[in-house]
Amino acid sequence: MEIKGTNYHVTYDSTTATVALQGTLRLRGINEYDPIVELLDDVTAQEPETITLNLQNLQFLNSSGINILFKFVIQIREQGSSKLVVRGSTKIPWQKKSLQNLQRLMAGVQLEWGE
Amino acid sequence: MQQTFGNFVEQENGDEYLVIHFSPTSLPLQQRWRNSGLSADFLAEYWSTFFPAHDVSSRNKQLEIKGGINYIANELLENIMKYSYLPADYPVSLGLCLYQDEFKFYARNAIDPDAVENFQVRIQALLAEDTQTLYLQQVEQNAANAKSIGSHLGLLTMINDYNAQLAWKFETISQDPEIIVVTTMVQLAL
């Protein structure tokens, strides 16, 4: 599964159950984020043992985008079938500021930091 | 008529400031939207000149400041574009001023007079309640409501994730037609 936008790229590798978001995401509200939300819904529905969310190349995310990531995490939490690993980058400022909230939303979220 | 919430300080531009000023009605929102990102990127890059990176510590500081300006400017511009009351046909602006130990952002736009009361209730909650709790509550509410259109997380992320201080001023510019302008001030410590 793949979504390509002007400044962003979202992929899902089902062999490793890894969703990767890359580029810059500044979409306007829930309607424009719909295709990405649908991709994330499909990932959750497959119920892999561990879902990996790779954000290491996501340079910017607006609050509407942060909201859909939180929704994804809550969905995984409510379904109860999958563990979640989130890969972030210490070089990307918004991640150092906002990703820790994921651990407040779902106990056991593993946050891994790379450069 | 004027009303302020929080520690609102009037904009005094000082020696270093930039202002983006435009008409919210001259272009459709769809076309205008890209400018919020462009502007935020520019502002972040511009102000990074004042925080040169010559070692690990100063490089990290520069990165943090750029990230903070980029995120806050983008959110304020997106809010201006989403919530500007177009029938007032009143210009909007985002000003960014550098002081010795902080940045101050000033976002100014006309607001729907019918929306003022609800917005002020929300502001009072942001100023009085535990914003970490409000943040998580809003996130859970958004997840439970599939039809929610806005995330209502812009201001909460600024407060909780960036430790920004927020304040507001409401001014009645005209009675007939009724035009109310809101200025959102965001202080970002260096």
Q: Mean pLDDT across the stretch A96-110?
A: 93
Length of chain B: 190
Q: Mean pLDDT across the stretch B151-157?
A: 92
Chain B residues in contact with A30 by the CB 8 A cut-off are: 148-151
Model pLDDT, residue B150: 74
Chain B residues in contact with A38 by the CB 8 A cut-off are: none
Chain B residues in contact with A26 by the CB 8 A cut-off are: 33, 36-37, 74, 78
Q: Could you tell me if A72 and A33 are in contact, meaning their C-beta atoms sit under 8 angstroms apart?
A: no
Give the Cα separation of B4 and B22 in Å (integer): 24
- Please, which residues bridge with residue B165 across strands? B187
Residue B71 CB burial class (10 angstroms; 0-12, 13-18, ≥19)? buried
Distance of CA A110 to CAs A21, A52, A53, A78, A83, Å?
17, 9, 10, 17, 8
- Residue in A64, A55, A59, A57 with CA at minimum distance from that of residue A100: A55
Q: Mean pLDDT across the stretch A48-77?
A: 96
Give the Cα separation of A105 and A75 in Å (integer): 10
Give the Cα separation of A114 and A88 in Å (integer): 6
Q: Which residue has the higher pLDDT, A70 or B32?
A: A70
Strands, DSSP E only, in chain A? 2-4, 8-13, 18-25, 50-61, 83-89, 110-114
B14 band by pLDDT with thresholds 50, 70 and 90: confident
Q: Mean pLDDT across the stretch A51-71?
A: 97
The verdict on B45 touching A (C-beta cutoff 8 Å) is: no
Least confident of A11-25, A51-65, B7-21: B7-21
pLDDT digits (tens, 9 = 90+) for B59-89: 999 999 999 999 999 999 999 988 999 999 9
Average pLDDT across chain A, whole number: 95
Average pLDDT across chain B, whole number: 93
Helix or strand holding residue B42 (H, E): helix B29-48
Model pLDDT, residue B188: 96
Main-chain dihedrals φ then ψ at residue A27, nearest 5 degrees: -75, 160
Chain A residues in contact with B136 by the CB 8 A cut-off are: 101, 104-105
Model pLDDT, residue A115: 83
Q: Could you tell me if A84 and A99 are in contact, meaning their C-beta atoms sit under 8 angstroms apart?
A: no
Percent over 70 (pLDDT), chain B: 98
Considering only CB atoms, B139 lies closest to which of A70, A96, A97, namely: A70
- Please, which residues bridge with residue B188 across strands? B103
Q: Mean pLDDT across the stretch A21-32?
A: 92
Q: Mean pLDDT across the stretch A98-115?
A: 93
Residue A27 CB burial class (10 angstroms; 0-12, 13-18, ≥19)? buried
B185 band by pLDDT with thresholds 50, 70 and 90: very high
Which B residues 93-152 touch A at CB under 8 Å? 135-136, 139-140, 142-143, 148-151
Give the Cα separation of B165 and B155 in Å (integer): 10
DSSP 3-state assignment of B161?
helix
The verdict on B53 touching A (C-beta cutoff 8 Å) is: no
Model pLDDT, residue B149: 67
Is this complex's ipTM strictly greater than 0.90? yes
pLDDT digits (tens, 9 = 90+) for B104-133: 999 999 999 999 999 999 999 999 999 999
Give the Cα separation of A47 and A60 in Å (integer): 28
How far away is chain B from the Cα of A53, in angstroms, using its nearest Cα? 18
B29 band by pLDDT with thresholds 50, 70 and 90: confident
